[in-house]
Amino acid sequence: MAFSNRVRSALTTTVLATAATGFLAGCGSDDEEEQVAYCTNEDGEIVDDEYCDDDYRGGGGGLFFLYLGAFRGGLPVGTVLPSGGTRVDPRDTAARQRYGLPGTGTVASGTRVTGGIGSGTGGNRTSGS
């Protein structure tokens, strides 16, 4: 069966547009993996970032966590985060890095981590210990 050039052009355009849409949808999936980190106490309440510095000497070992989840940024101290996030011991360098956080130092509340576990991309901010 022979097709005219006009029909071939229309089919080619349709196929390419469909392929591009699928490709772009796949690229957009990183947004779903974006997580936000907050320093929390054992009840999931946001506390000052200093408590989650890997070098914190206040005697609170095991009582504070870096809590990662699909939370919005800019939440104030005192906000209780919903369950469903991931708790990371701020003293565990390997775990911090596995979740895309810096291995040492303070992680600023609201730090966004994108690209999935261990990618380490997405605007991590740290301050020295």
What is the DSSP track for 31-86? HHH-EEEEEEETTSBB--GGGGSTT--SS-TTTEEEEEESPPS-PPTTPBPPS--E
Domain boundaries, the chain: 35-48+64-86
Give the integer Cα–Cα distance in Å for 15 and 61: 58
pLDDT exceeds 90 at position 121:
no
pLDDT tens column, 53-110: 877 776 555 688 999 999 988 999 999 999 888 999 998 989 989 998 888 888 889 9
Nearest to 87 by CA among 115, 65, 55, 61: 65
pTM greater than 0.75: no
The count of other CB atoms within 10 Å of the CB of residue 64 is 24
DSSP SS3 for 101? coil
Question: What is the amino acid identity at position 53?
Answer: D
What does pLDDT average to over the chain? 73
pLDDT at 21 over 90: no
Q: Which residues have C-beta within 8 Å of that of residue 29, sequence separation ≥ 6?
A: none
